[in-house]
Structure 1
Amino acid sequence: MRGWFDAFRNDGGPTLYSYSNRTPVTGDVQLITIFVIFCTIYTAFIIIFPGIRKQKLTTFLTVTLSMFVGTTIQVAQYGSTWHTASTTVVSSYSAFSKQRMTAEIGGFIGLMHINITYRVLPGYDELNDVEFNERFWWRSPNEMSTSFKEALYRGAPFPILSVAEYFSLHQEGFSWGSKYREAGYYASIMLWTSLASWFMMNLLLMVVPRYGAYSMVFTGLCMLLTDLTYWSLLPCDPLVAHVDGSILIFNFGWNYWLVLAAGIGCLFTGMIITAIDLIFPHQFSTILEVDYDTPYDRHVIIEESFDTRNTRRRLPKIEDAFGDRIIRQLSSKLVAEKEDRQGVINQGYVSQEPSEFQHEITNESNKSNWSYPFPPTPRRTIN
């Protein structure tokens, strides 16, 4: 058939969609998403970093370490390179086939799965575009066996099935699958604990940097315990997979070493910040603090309180001695007793004093701002 859509075609015909055009996997979507998220946040920080005027070094180191630790935790949680092995194998594509191909086979073990890759090396065979990447999960006890049966039904390459068989059987000497699942399960729990501690670390660094340093130390310890847990729960007998005369020997991958490096860096950085804060209190600071460079900044409050203390030290002591207070109290009591001895004026008595005395009293009462019916006197009166 020829029509409007046959331009730039080799055969001049329309596109045929009668088969599924499967392409090899070139990247893990989950890991790419994690890298994009953290790289976007860090790129935004790098853009605004030149505008920072104070605490540039501490802010840069703190943000860089925080992004590195957060990315490491998530990549290790979903990554497939905790235990890895790869080799070149000469085998048949399918069982009981006489055609043999030279290919590269690899096993990449994560916490909850294993990726088995199979790629025919170019130049060794005419079929040089064969490339497989099969993922087998073991989130539940029987999931690996189920995935292995599904791979058999799909017709996966024979070398992939040979490696997957070591993890699907849970009897006699074939117990590597359960051991790896146990190691990944407890290591995953420790990684989630590290992630929660990492969130708390970032929060406390913005509120109370001293406690943020303590949380940083705890995060580093959790990450180191993750590696220790995974290493201690691995099979006592190392897995050595045999595939048509070739041997796959599994060793620690870059996920394991990345968690170890991030844990050591986080632990030592937190200890250094804690030591600096103990020797020089309230000196560690970043621009990420909530009240930074505001009237509520802890540095401003500390400086103002320090100036207030110095001002109080410069002022003379106005507080009297203990003896002066005793004398003052005694003198007030003596004055009160003296007033009591002066007696009481009987206002019902009409005085026979001369009129001049009454005139003087009248003049004194008129001089005051208030008019009282009786002459002012320091003595108590009774109506």
Structure 2
Amino acid sequence: MTFYNDIYPFYHVQRTSFIFNLALLTVILVFVVFAIIFLLILPGIRGKSRLFWMCRVLISLFIGAVIVAVNFTSDWAAASMKANTTYKSFSSGIVNAEIGLHVGLSGINVTLKGNPVMQLNETIDYNEMFKWTDSLDEDYTEALERGLPNPILYIAEKFTAGSPCGLYFQYRYSGTYASATMWTAFCCWLVANVLFSMPVILYAGFMMVATAAFIFFSLASFSTIQNLPACVFAIGTASFEMGYSHSFWLALAIGVLCVVIGLLVILLDCLIPEKMKEAFSVDVDDEDDDNCLTEGYLNSNFLEGVTTITFTG
């Protein structure tokens, strides 16, 4: 094996570790561009409403960015542990590494990072993605053929369709329904932003509450994974249990924020509707048009020769 630089000849060439989710990066860049464009036109807004518009737009963009981004993150639930474990099949080499499991709405990420990273003359830094599709078992078979480290294969096997743990179907369906309701929340958020620019601010508040409701439905759907019987992930003498992670709590915080905004808008619109219309700059143009009509002048020359017809019935 020395001739092959300690890489077994029947394994494929090792791939570089996972760097960043490109879909998530695209979402972040799109909303950052929108925020920058708004900041560039912000000086054109006159008066005291400039600060209100800035806070309103930035908070709204943040809510929309989170709703979309959590569909592509892989840390709705997570767990990790440090263990001494065998590295690869047909090898007696033992490595000290940190093994992590990150669950998202579309699949799981299994990470393996050596401590230190360089061990057995090799860089131990893996992040492998397994998606909730009909090809997950095929992905697992491909991982076997590529000769991924034993800890990654052990955890991935727990999520295959034939595993006695039964994690695959529950996690897949929970993630699918959670993603669908989260996208519905995004649609409600879009409608709410449109209504905020119209003289129907009350209904915009209702749509913000509806946005929060669908976010909570998404969280409830993902939470059904807790109904599964406990499946122990044990490597050597170490083990771990799954727990909610950053994306779950961030989505919960955004849902609470939408509820607060929606209820506050509904309450203020009922108590001080005129002030709310003035704050959101609606109905201002209509009043200006009315004033222009009352101050206008009538050219009598256009009325010469005009016959007035009166209909009687």
If the length of structure 2 is used for normalisation, what is the TM-score? 0.81
Give the whole-Å Cα distance in 1 for the aligned partners of 2:225 and 2:244.
13
Superimposed CA distance per residue, residues 130-163 of structure 1 (whole angstroms, 9 cap, x where no aligned partner): 21111111133xx222211111111111110000
Match of 1:40 among 22, 25, 33: 33
Does 1 or 2 have the higher relative contact order (CA < 8 Å, sep 6+)?
Answer: 2
Identify which range, 71-80 or 125-134, moves more after superposition: 125-134
Match of 2:188 among 165, 190, 197: 197
2:151 counterpart residue number: 159
2:18–2:128 contact (8 Å) kept in structure 1: no
Match of 1:222 among 200, 214, 221: 214
1:102–1:124 contact (8 Å) kept in structure 2: no
2:309 counterpart residue number: none
Kindly indicate whether residue 170 of structure 2 is the aligned counterpart of residue 179 of structure 1.
yes
% identity of equivalent residues? 27
SS in 2 for 1:115: strand
Superimposed CA distance per residue, residues 278-331 of structure 1 (whole angstroms, 9 cap, x where no aligned partner): 001132248876x675x336xx57x96xx9xxxxxxxxxxxxxxxxxxxxxxxx
CA spacing shift, 1:98–1:20, aligned 2, 3 Å: closer
2:117–2:123 contact (8 Å) kept in structure 1: no
Match of 1:23 among 13, 16, 25: 16
Give the whole-Å Cα distance in 2 for the aligned partners of 1:20 and 1:155.
10
Superimposed CA distance per residue, residues 65-87 of structure 1 (whole angstroms, 9 cap, x where no aligned partner): 21111111111111100111111
The letter for the 2-side match of 1:185 is T
Give the whole-Å Cα distance in 2 for the aligned partners of 1:124 and 1:130.
6
SS in 1 for 2:165: coil
| Aligned ranges 1:126-141 → 2 under 5 Å | 126-127=120-121, 129-140=123-134
1:240–1:250 contact (8 Å) kept in structure 2: no
Where in structure 2 are there 5+ consecutive unaligned residues? Answer: 1-11, 295-313
1:80 counterpart residue number: 74
Identify which range, 209-218 or 228-237, moves more after superposition: 228-237
1:52 counterpart residue number: 45
SS in 1 for 2:123: coil
Give the whole-Å Cα distance in 2 for the aligned partners of 1:211 and 1:167.
44
Structure number with larger C-alpha Rg = 1
Kindly indicate whether residue 101 of structure 2 is the aligned counterpart of residue 101 of structure 1.
no
Kindly indicate whether residue 289 of structure 2 is the aligned counterpart of residue 296 of structure 1.
no
SS in 2 for 1:284: helix
Give the whole-Å Cα distance in 1 for the aligned partners of 2:89 and 2:122.
19
CA spacing shift, 1:228–1:118, aligned 2, 3 Å: same
2:111–2:125 contact (8 Å) kept in structure 1: yes
Q: How many residues align?
A: 281
Superimposed CA distance per residue, residues 218-249 of structure 1 (whole angstroms, 9 cap, x where no aligned partner): 11111122112211344432443112222122
Superimposed CA distance per residue, residues 236-274 of structure 1 (whole angstroms, 9 cap, x where no aligned partner): 324431122221221111110111000100111111011
Match of 2:83 among 89, 92, 110: 89
1:251 counterpart residue number: 243
Where in structure 1 are there 5+ consecutive unaligned residues? Answer: 1-18, 308-383
Give the whole-Å Cα distance in 2 for the aligned partners of 1:272 and 1:224.
19
Identify which range, 184-193 or 91-100, moves more after superposition: 91-100
Kindly indicate whether residue 277 of structure 2 is the aligned counterpart of residue 278 of structure 1.
no
1:205 deviates by 1.2
1:260 counterpart residue number: 252
1:217–1:270 contact (8 Å) kept in structure 2: yes
2:118–2:124 contact (8 Å) kept in structure 1: no
Give the whole-Å Cα distance in 2 for the aligned partners of 1:129 and 1:151.
18
Give the whole-Å Cα distance in 1 for the aligned partners of 2:193 and 2:230.
39
1:99 deviates by 0.8
If the length of structure 1 is used for normalisation, what is the TM-score? 0.67
